[in-house]
Structure 1
């Protein structure tokens, strides 16, 4: 299937908007089904978009970019997979394979964007210290643009040249470069979790922290079951606290009446 220029432009813009929304406005968030369906509608086959998007959504359950970590971009994978299926006429399996490859490449692009934003933040600080607030605000807009391009560029390449070019790009990238990006991406979660623990009552609830670590590191549970167990434990703590507060309130009220 030959796609029109306007379809390439609209789908590329959709990929850009998705990324900005995911990190900013959060209107649609991490919804692979929705974005894949929209790509399907633009290309005239919404059903394929729903099928590919639903498959990708199931694959991404329990996967989250917590504490600044970089994970495969599954909504982008759904959009790319849908486009490849419709453009080539292949089944959903082929589209998913190409889509996941592009989504995995998104990890490297995400690390690059986050690294570039560090320099943008330092530039903002310089402008703020010099009192150049208009320039500081202008630099602020660079961040969303960089992140939007991490999805728009791969989407544009796939639409313009096909899915094979993505695998070709991955095969010629030097191993030292991808390894360096992987190491940088691995450090980001550690730094982020350290920052989060600074503000969390980790000392007060250290036992729960230890239990979660054992479940994840030693028993190999993924994020979703550990999060469910953590939510259940948090609910029990909440019930105990509210019950204790209610009892103390009743005791205080009864003591006040006796004094009267």
Structure 2
């Protein structure tokens, strides 16, 4: 069990890093379940559980700086327990969401802790110490490994009771603080995005979408449909204006008549 716990901790860390850097789909529940089954020697059960959890986590995606429930860790631990206990997908469905939410809290804490490295990186960049700047990036990866191993290793080695005991040890004030931080991160992420775009004339469209979603009750699909319609209308009038402006002027017509 010790070797399996180590291997699954490494696998979970690599998949979590893939989720945060590139996101090629390897960290999705279906692939995560298959890889977990491969490590534990039951790839068929891993694919079965992964496909089931894929349906549950299908709509979860991080937008901006938002931190969604950690579907990778939730799937990996749920699949592992389904295989090790022999109870199949039933126990996986019970464990996946609670574990994903617990991993989400640790993810927020890890991201918050990494802000220390950002300030260190700024100082190294100003001094031109690029080797140290490179090491800062590796330090961030190390934090990710530790963050994942804290929940995956004891869950596999000691069982799910260890995970629940660890969560129970965390003070309520800390959990509440992480929850509030998680709710603030989406606003910070969109603020950073608008700062990087630096296109003031597009700001009204952002607030139109915000108003539709917040006060109008529009879903993401609804806001997207409105945005597409606005884009098509703007493109239509822009093309007509360009055609009108590029047409023959009165001066050109007068010159033809004189000839």
* Partner in structure 2 of residue 124 of structure 1: 121
* Partner in structure 2 of residue 65 of structure 1: 62
Residues 109-188 of structure 1 mapped to structure 2, 5 A cutoff: 109-188=106-185
Q: Is 1:227 aligned with 2:220?
A: yes
Measured after TM superposition, the shift of residue 141 of structure 1 is 1.6
Asked whether the equivalents of residues 37 and 46 of structure 1 are also in contact (C-alpha less than 8 Å), the reply is yes
Q: What is the root-mean-square deviation of aligned Cα atoms in Å?
A: 2.6
**Aligned pair in 2 of structure 1 residues 129, 50: CA closer, same or farther (>3 Å)?**
same
Larger Rg: 2
3-state DSSP of counterpart to 2:59: coil
3-state DSSP of counterpart to 1:69: coil
**TM-score, scaled to structure 1:** 0.83
3-state DSSP of counterpart to 2:215: helix
Measured after TM superposition, the shift of residue 128 of structure 1 is 2.5
How many residues were matched structurally?
249
Separation (CA, whole Å) in 1 of partners of 2:209 and 2:125: 42
Separation (CA, whole Å) in 2 of partners of 1:208 and 1:131: 42
Asked whether the equivalents of residues 18 and 24 of structure 2 are also in contact (C-alpha less than 8 Å), the reply is yes
**Aligned pair in 2 of structure 1 residues 30, 13: CA closer, same or farther (>3 Å)?**
closer
Q: Is 1:97 aligned with 2:94?
A: yes
Separation (CA, whole Å) in 1 of partners of 2:133 and 2:193: 27
Q: Is 1:211 aligned with 2:212?
A: yes
Asked whether the equivalents of residues 64 and 71 of structure 1 are also in contact (C-alpha less than 8 Å), the reply is yes
3-state DSSP of counterpart to 2:114: helix
Residues 39-78 of structure 1 mapped to structure 2, 5 A cutoff: 39-78=36-75
Measured after TM superposition, the shift of residue 205 of structure 1 is 5.4
* Partner in structure 1 of residue 244 of structure 2: 251
**Aligned pair in 2 of structure 1 residues 27, 152: CA closer, same or farther (>3 Å)?**
farther
Query: Which runs of no fewer than 5 residues in structure 2 stay unpaired?
Result: none
Separation (CA, whole Å) in 1 of partners of 2:26 and 2:183: 23
Measured after TM superposition, the shift of residue 202 of structure 1 is 2.5
Separation (CA, whole Å) in 1 of partners of 2:223 and 2:170: 40
**Aligned pair in 2 of structure 1 residues 116, 190: CA closer, same or farther (>3 Å)?**
same
Residues 22-37 of structure 1 mapped to structure 2, 5 A cutoff: 22-28=19-25, 30-37=27-34
